[in-house]
Amino acid sequence: SHWRIGSCSAMSSGQLLEDWYSTPTVRDCKQTDATMEWLELMATREAAEPIDPNRLEAAIERGIPSDLRERAWLTFSGAAERMAQHPQVYRQLYERIGHF
């Protein structure tokens, strides 16, 4: 059998190390920074602490990561607070229109 760079003796001829081990996920640093920024902003808002409006505006202009948009909307719109204050209303609305 021929050896190839990145091969291992337990592998069959022609297999690469990458065939056995998955390549680690490489995250986009900008996306990771944005996620960290939004998590911090939401935690600050949820703790009812003041947020610098310029910081929030800059974060909005850079965009909200898609996996955080639902939570961000609930947090900054005040919907999460209203849902917590009136859980029956949310449940009734969901039962009425949640089947669509």
What span, in angstroms and rounded, lies between the C-alpha atoms of 6 and 8?
A: 7
pLDDT at residue 63 in the model: 93
Residue 56's pLDDT is 95
How far is Cα 31 from Cα 40, in angstroms, rounded to an integer?
14
| Mean pLDDT taken over the chain | 79
68: three-class secondary structure by DSSP? helix
Is 4 a residue whose pLDDT tops 50? no
Identify the band that residue 1 occupies on the pLDDT scale cut at 50, 70 and 90.
Answer: very low
pLDDT at 57 over 50: yes
Task: Identify the pLDDT of residue 41.
Answer: 96
Report the pLDDT value the prediction gives residue 2, as an integer from 0 to 100: 45
Contacts for 17 with CB less than 8 Å, ≥ 6 apart: 6, 7, 8, 11
Residue with tokens 């056995």: 20
Span of 19-33, 35-49, 62-76, 77-91 with lowest mean pLDDT: 19-33
What is the band of 58 on the pLDDT scale with cuts at 50, 70, 90? very high
Helical spans, DSSP H, in the chain: 17-20, 29-46, 53-62, 69-77, 79-85, 87-97
pLDDT of 83 reads 86
Q: Determine the length of the chain.
A: 100
